[in-house]
Amino acid sequence: MLNCQKDKFNLSDDVSYINCAYMSPNLKTVEEAGIKAIYKKSQPWKITRADFFDPVEQVKSTFAKLINCPDPQRIAPIPSASYGIANVVKNIHATSKNNIVLADEGFPSNFYSWKKLSDETGVEIRLISSPNIEISNARIWNENLLNAIDENTIAVSLGNVHWADGTLFDLKKLRAKTSENDAFLIVDGTQSVGAYPLDIQEVKLDALICAGYKWLLGPYVSGVGYYGEKFDKGTPIEENWINRLDSHQFENLVNYQPEYKSLANRYAMGEQSNFVGVPMLQKSLEQILDWGVENIQNYCKNISKNSIHELQEMGCQLEEEAFRAPHLFGVRLSKKMDMEKLKANFEKNNVKVSLRGNAIRIAPHVYNTSEDFEKLTTCFKNSISQKTIF
Ligand SMILES: Cc1ncc(COP(=O)(O)O)c(C=O)c1O
């Protein structure tokens, strides 16, 4: 069982930051790695040829471990989720007879490339909306997604934890139905991987795309993508020198090389060596592996359980437990509560969460405590409008 890990971060005691879904705070080790790397470039002769390649290989191997991927060469460094998705979409050959299934109100980085493909080819986009019902919302949403997949579906693409309200989508069922229909299954793991278990050998995704600055606890512009075998001979969205075979032979770079390196390497971003970002991401991935993703989940579950119970008693709506991730969940206000008051309470008490329409997104990590949740619950309690008490 994990204890609170706040001492590994530079977080002040008077702020309850329960919003890792927005952006993670830096671990001290990550901060130090970044500062060291910035100083290194002040003396560029200290940046060696090996520095272009070895740290990236380390990140690929460490991320591969996190998702139980046997081959790190299936992992490519990417600057953003949108970049990783663009590489996926470029290699999906759709026609106007096909359809693509997306969860509605998914993050836009997993929408616009599909929209462009639709504009270019006429492929239908099926946006499956939240049913917006009080009971079993996620269960029905999952069913509707599965029902939308048919023999003309070419791809399903979604975050397995919905970024706005934390709804969990069942990847095993989606994989079964997409396989039956010979469709790609693409997952934006930005709001899950690092905090919610994902075993790539178990769910056999075709691609898994993760921005690194949230649950991977890395810096901005430090994502990672997994590309499965359907992408092995694909075309990347950009051509850069490092992705070509033997690029470590600097002397030969202008003997232009027609071959890519193996597997996912062709999808790696230009300047993948990112001398500051890569060592930072390496430190954060090592820390996550050391904690263990299951332990992070259990920790978040533990510190939030009393608060969740109290919120439900107050009439707030939360998704049923089987469809709710402990690290990211939405709370819909009870009718007695006043959103403006709640916002003011959060502000006054330094409780940092995100507001999404009539819901609050709560996203704890191992630096949070049950005291943070007590503060949060008090903010809700004090937002009950006086008029409705009598
Ligand atoms: C589900 C999801 N995907 C991706 C991103 C970030 O996308 P990008 O890296 O393209 O800026 C976010 C940011 O909030 C997100 O919630």
Q: How far is the CA of 209 from the centre of ligand 1 (A)?
A: 10
Domain containing residue 254: CATH number: 3.40.640.10
What is the spatial distance between Cα 244 and Cα 254, in angstroms, rounded to a whole number? 12
Q: How far is the CA of 106 from the centre of ligand 1 (A)?
A: 9
Q: Tokens 């671990």, residue? A: 27
Ligand 1, atom 7: closest residue by C-alpha? 81
Q: How far is the CA of 27 from the centre of ligand 1 (A)?
A: 20
- pLDDT for the residue 134: 87
Question: To test the ligand 1 pocket, which listed residue (20, 102, 105, 109) has its Cβ within 8 A of the most ligand atoms?
Answer: 109
Other Cβ atoms within 10 Å of 43 Cβ, number: 8
375 within domain boundaries: yes
Cα 46 to Cα 82, 231, 320, 349: the distances in Å are 33, 36, 54, 47
Taking the CA of residue 109 as reference, the ligand 1 atom at the shortest distance is 10
Taking the CA of residue 162 as reference, the ligand 1 atom at the shortest distance is 1
Q: Are residues 71 and 144 in the same domain?
A: yes
Q: Are residues 273 and 349 in the same domain?
A: no
Last residue of a domain, one of 263, 290, 317: 290
Other Cβ atoms within 10 Å of 7 Cβ, number: 10
Whether pLDDT at 107 is above 60? yes
Cα 271 to Cα 48, 234, 278, 390: the distances in Å are 15, 20, 11, 64
| DSSP three-state, residue 140 | helix
Q: Are residues 282 and 312 in the same domain?
A: no
- Domain extent, residue 348, equals 6-25+292-388
Other Cβ atoms within 10 Å of 310 Cβ, number: 17
354 within domain boundaries: yes
What is the spatial distance between Cα 238 and Cα 268, in angstroms, rounded to a whole number? 9
**pLDDT tens, position by position, 358-377:** 789 999 999 999 999 999 99
For the question of whether the overall pTM of this predicted structure is more than 0.85, the answer is yes
Sign of CA dihedral 83, 283, 288, 76: positive
- Tell me the average pLDDT across 73-93: 98
Q: How far is the CA of 382 from the centre of ligand 1 (A)?
A: 33
**pLDDT tens, position by position, 334-363:** 999 999 999 999 999 999 999 987 789 999
Q: Are residues 266 and 217 in the same domain?
A: yes
**pLDDT tens, position by position, 226-251:** 999 999 999 999 999 999 999 999 99
Q: How far is the CA of 223 from the centre of ligand 1 (A)?
A: 10
Q: Are residues 227 and 127 in the same domain?
A: yes
51 within domain boundaries: yes
The domain total for the chain is 2
Ligand 1, pocket residues at CB < 6 Å? 80-82, 107, 109, 159, 163, 188, 190-191, 211
What is the spatial distance between Cα 25 and Cα 80, in angstroms, rounded to a whole number? 18
Q: Are residues 76 and 194 in the same domain?
A: yes
Q: How far is the CA of 107 from the centre of ligand 1 (A)?
A: 6
191 within domain boundaries: yes
Q: What's the CA angle centered on 70, arms 270 and 180, to 5 degrees? A: 95
